[in-house]
Amino acid sequence: MKVTVVGAAGRMGGRLIQAVKAADGLELTGAIERPGHPQIGTDAGLLAAVGELGVPITDDLAAAMKTADILIDFTFPEVTLNNLEICAKFGKMVVSGSTGFTPEQKTAVEKYAEQIPIVLAPNMSVGVNACFKLLKETAKILGDDFDVEVVELHHNKKKDSPSGTAVRMGEIVAETLGRDYNRVANYHREGMCGERTKKEIGMQTVRGGDIVGEHTVYFIGMGERIEISHRAMSRDMFARGAVRACQWLEGKSSGLFDMQDVLGLS
């Protein structure tokens, strides 16, 4: 399959290009950056340290998708929605690791998925998705008798807060316990805010340095505590997951999927 990568000059873009280059059955044919980016015109392979690929970085996604089969998009919701519009026009597949979607933006993604196949996942790590599965099973066992708190740590350049992965962890626990995440998520405690409610799910954020990503969900009961944690040590695992999602999508005509589907954990 022929692949276009968006954000090709960034840290994640470089990892994605490396993963595509190493994967069986995938070929990089497009590399996209925002208009005016200083690396436009540079060979994407040279920038990603995999050798010259003959694929210059451009700002024309429509032209790139005319010859590509699939787009890998790790950007931001507004950019992703614009990219989905172009891909839907050409009937192309999409793998997106973008986070921070509003409910309205998620609805827009679902509409595009009626036309093309999309894998949208806040975290494409195999390990994180194993944690998602464990969280669901743990919440089923513990029920409402344990307080739930989610703590996430990321580098100081990350723009959304809490992370998409942390939100998904909270959503999984809330859904399993029959709660509405948007009603029970508590993002802020300060001053005389009163006792913790039984149903709330605390969402705490830490930003600093070059932390790739760490997530811990605490199930806290009387006299005992369970912690389910994942620590990312490099961005390579996200890129490998995106490549796996590309390979899994081949042959599908439409639908909205996530990494639980890709890994057979649904």
Verify whether residue 155 is a known catalytic residue: no
Verify whether residue 158 is a known catalytic residue: yes
Helix (H) or strand (E) holding 236: helix 236-249
Contact, 30 vs 68, CB < 8 A? yes
Q: Please, what's the b/e burial string for 226-253 (b: 16 or more CB within 10 A of its CB; e: otherwise)?
A: eebebebeebebbbbbbbbbbebbeeee
Q: Which two tokens stand for residue 47?
A: 């920038």
DSSP label of 251: T
Active-site residue (options: 92, 154, 215, 230): 154
Distance of CA 163 to the CA centre of its chain: 9
Active-site residue (options: 133, 136, 158, 199): 158
**232 DSSP β-pair partners:** 213
DSSP structure string for 112-145: HTTTSEEEE-S---HHHHHHHHHHHHHHHHHGGG
Could you list the active site residues?
154, 158
